[in-house]
Chains A and B, each alone.
Chain A
Amino acid sequence: VNGIHDMGGMQDMGPIRYEKNEPVFHEPWEGRVYVIRRAMGAWKKWTTDHARHEIEKLPPSDYLRMSYYERWLVSTENLIVNAALITRDELESGKPAAGSAKATPPLKSADMQTVLVRPKVTRPDANVKAKFKQGDRVRARNIHPTGHVRLPRYARGKAGVVHQDHGIYVFPDTIVAGQGEKPQHVYSVRFEARELWGPQASPRHAVYLDLWDDYLDHI
């Protein structure tokens, strides 16, 4: 979706606020949200891509007003409700529905290590031929899917060169659309700044993006 999350190249977002000796979490609730999301991930009801997409679906004006962990809080609630682990009524009342069964958490503190290790679901055991090789000139497709997509707007339609083949990964777009993993190669593609931003850009500036086969065409 052409959402507000796709920020590369936007201007006037203000100065970068640097904080010395920044704590990991600024308030306790931020840490709780973060680990609730991690622990709930152990139910394996959604993938990282679903989680990203849930944030992308926030209304743009809300997205901009919310802090990082507020986005996580709201998207986590939505993920849990969408996965039918709780109902919207339970979320809004704050109480389990009468007569609802009590589950057993899949993650105990003893197996904390399993949640720190993100499962390697993104590297499927699949044998798919690479469409491109190092040095190939490619053009990122000019596509505007309404669902989840990891090709930023600023690179669409732009020409670059394949810098490296990273191997085979699952395809986020089809995973979130419920259309399967569609395993394919991901490449590091180098785009010159002048191609992305026009002739006023520096000739000594390039941007590298990691892009799936389905985002690229040969030139």
Chain B
Amino acid sequence: MRWQRLVLSCIALILFVIPMGLWGSLYIVGGDDARLYYLFPKEYLYSYLFNIISGNSLGTNLGYWPVSYASPVVLFIFLVKTLLPWLHTQFFIYGLILSTGFVFFYAFVRDVLPKKGNLYFWSAIIASLYYIFSIYVNKTFFQHQQLSLFLIAVVPGMLFFFQRGLRGKNYKYIVCAALFYSWFSSTFLSIPWFLATLLTLLPLIIYFLWIYGLRLCKSLIMFVGIIFFTNIYWTIHIMVPLLFKTGEATIGSNFASEAFAQQNADLFDALVYLNTPIRQITNTLRTGWDIRQGVGIGQTIGLVYVLVIFWAGTFVHKVKKDTRTLFVTSVFCLLMAMIFITPNFGQWNSALFQFLNDHVPLFSMFRNMYDKFALGMAFAYGFALYSSLIVLGEAHIRRVWQYGASAVLIVVILLQAMPFIWPSYDDDTYSVRINGALNAEYMELTSYIRDMDTTGRFLWYPMTFPGYVFLRDQKLQHHYYIGLSPLQILSGKADTAGFYGMSTPAKTDLNWITLALFRERLYEVIVPILTQQNIQYVIINNEPFPDKEKSGLEGFDFVSLQTPEFKKELLGEKIRDFGKRYSLYTINPDFALPTVFLSENATESARVAQKVKFQKFKDGRYEVEIEKTSKPMKLILLEPTSRFWTSQLGQASQAYNYGNAWDVPEGFEGTVILEFWPNKLVVPSIIFSVLLSLVLLVYCLL
């Protein structure tokens, strides 16, 4: 009906303008996700996202690993920024997520029980409002604001398309679901949240299986297949090490490792105390130990959602079978979400979580479960609320009760959402919201580094424990970007910014070893470790630490251990200053190493035995000219180690816990090409993915 569409559109529009209208004009940046893609999407695409061996991490060493899974979303942001440059890109996108999330959730629940009437319309509106304003979403996803935020819209959208495809026996919708997920979810980056949500929706999947049987299986195969092949531009780089059985350290193997599972076991034990069972029932959530106060009397208004579900339960015997089945399914989803978001309903609950962590591969990705299962919880609560309101309506309870319940629900939803809709920021002394530009000196620094003719990497002094850099806003005094180093994005040059950056894929505990060396003040050992990681320059950040972040950046006294003596040992010649804030130096020439050189060994302290001439091409190849060698030597390449580096000299071995080495026989002379061959797959796989996506899009539109 037209008026229903009008109401739906009005609510969607209001949701769309909330961030732009009420959340101020500053950009919220920093953290593990940097969130700078809202400001520099073009630079992300150009200098960072499609690198697979070096320059594929921000301030750290990642090894062979693709990071392009975020590229469709960043491309979308780039298009928004290019087409609507006057808008606040970040809040425009947030508004879009809120409104589309609301509309898709509405569409999904309406489609699950396709009946017409005001009851179904208003019930879906209330449930969708709950979903989008749920504290489980706004205290987690909108708190860290990582790219997984897009799942708020993607999950209900994907489920809507998928469900419609199943019901209408129309595979075009299954394709739509797969494409929608592929383009907007950042796939790999959001997998822990996505799979956690699917786990909570397991009863719904079983319900679908019961209704659609084989059709569901076919659709699932099709869905997964499309996602795999449309994402071949990054999945190929996960497949290559598996196919060639190189055993290279990857993020996937890290998640599956016993050490990681053990770390998680310890974490689960602690997190069970973070939220007590009353949290799930009263619709509240504690997201950190700094929130010390328990549930207050005012917060118990969140009970109304469970109350409505229980109330509906008292009438469930009066409604038709399809509604009853929907009610039972949705409540089971909610129960699943409740036992996973914090396993606190008894020791059996935490033991179940622990068992899954120990025995199900990759289950350990659900660490910080109160965050990972938050979307599933919001979805399940909204879904159960919808089915409950339908039960109450179909059971023909008195109108006054029905309207009263709806009104109370709307009031409680809005009351709980007020701090989210209308946030207050305390920016007087410190803030991580910036006005859209980093300070001019930093931009000058990155511009200078971009133009430098070097293959070397850069080191920040002082390094911080989480590997964050702190960069002041251009205009606002107490406003900072504090997060992963954006040097790679803005200059195209790799850097090391902190403790975790000193770990290498070849030696993952090198950072802890270095920390011990710092404690023993063995700087003459530490600096060679850094130069063996191809670090050739040092950026001095002369700005004082922001007080509020000092303890977080300092971890294990890592910053204080970088004494003036270490600085003296580290620095070579000053290249230039960038205002008062930054100074650029070469590294101490006593320890300096070029990216490619000949050495007598590849295991002990690196020393240049014979210099070589080399050139790096845009496609990542190195052309090395070697003058006649007087004895057998090692050709060293200080790029992240991998068995996929090839040359006519044969198979590479590992060098100095970081790089690659080839045997060079005595008397060798000539030109050698060093090539990381998976680089050849980058462009063809992108072309394949784009073409396949376009073909599938045309298929959907026809």
Report if A and B associate in a common complex.
Answer: no
Residues of B within 8 A of A (CB): none
